[in-house]
Structure 1
Amino acid sequence: MKNVLKVASAIFLGLFILTGCGVATVYNVKNNPVTSEKKLTKQDMYKAIYAAGATLGWKITKVKDGLAQGQLNLRKHMALVDISYNEKDYSITYNNSLNLNYDKEKGTIHNNYNGWILNLQKAINTQIQLLSM
């Protein structure tokens, strides 16, 4: 039994080291196409982005026409993204973070960040579909 625990501990430690302690390459959404049966305006796109962010706890603010920023604050963590958009596509790009182990040189960040961005992307796509009905 002790040997099984030693082997399991060694495997766990190896996997922990190989995964980079929960760090991954920063995920940016680039030119995600807008698929809608109805032609959407930039204003429609901002509404979709705003609504999607609100459902997930993101604070979305309009910087200028075609550019919004999203900020997510969870516990002691903060993620800030730029969201550029037009009638044909949108992009979500890393801007800044706090307590997420961001490494600019390596282009890595805490794994949770990528999950938050994927969820935001899915929510925006859902809101676009709702607007196109």
Structure 2
Amino acid sequence: MKKLRIVAFVLVACALFLGGCRTAPIQNIEMAPIVSTSQQARSMESVKNAIIKGGYDRGWQMSDVAPGHLVATLNVRSHQAVVDITYTPENYSINYKDSTNLKHKGNVIHSNYNAWIKNLASSINRELGQLSPQP
């Protein structure tokens, strides 16, 4: 009977350990530079439009809440991620705001969240790279 309790304890411990393997520290993107091939800056409007298009390309719903500030929401099955995107003509940031069913606790979240943010930033960078500087 004692061996059965030990085996049960080990199985429960392993299940708890493996259940936590799908979480990781939240990775925000802080002040990612908007690279320009010329000395001319891009406009706030063109940066906003590039960010919105990059988000839409990845399935994010984008809401314009203030100049230089968007809120983006991604719904995947029963999961939801919400981020704040702030931007200027020189840089942008993506920061965690809220989530549903992503095991968020403190500064830890389901590892898929970080992959979604990385993909969002990649799409934004692609769109920003296609912008022409403003005269």
Scaled to the shorter chain, the TM-score interval is: 0.7 to 0.9
User: TM-score scaled to structure 2, two decimals?
Assistant: 0.82
Segments of 4+ in structure 1 off by > 4 A?
none
User: TM-score scaled to structure 1, two decimals?
Assistant: 0.83
> Please, what is the CA RMSD of the aligned residues?
2.1
- SS of equivalent to 2:130: helix
- SS of equivalent to 1:131: coil
For residue 49 of structure 1, report the CA deviation from its aligned partner: 0.6
Report the counterpart of residue 92 of structure 2 in structure 1: 90
Instruction: Determine whether 1:34 maps to 2:28.
Output: no
- SS of equivalent to 1:40: coil
- C-alpha deviations, 1:73-110, integer Å up to 9, x for none? 01000000000000110000000000000002xx0000
1:47 aligned to which of 49, 54, 58? 49
- SS of equivalent to 1:50: helix
Where in structure 2 are there 5+ consecutive unaligned residues?
A: 1-12
For residue 36 of structure 1, report the CA deviation from its aligned partner: 1.7
Where in structure 1 are there 5+ consecutive unaligned residues?
A: 1-12
Give, in whole Å, the separation in 2 of the partners of 1:123 and 1:98: 23
- SS of equivalent to 1:47: helix
Task: Name the count of aligned residue pairs.
Answer: 119
> Bigger radius of gyration, 1 or 2?
2
- Give the percent of matched residue pairs that are identical in Structure 1 and Structure 2: 36
Give, in whole Å, the separation in 2 of the partners of 1:124 and 1:19: 32
Give, in whole Å, the separation in 1 of the partners of 2:71 and 2:58: 14
Instruction: Determine whether 1:123 maps to 2:123.
Output: yes
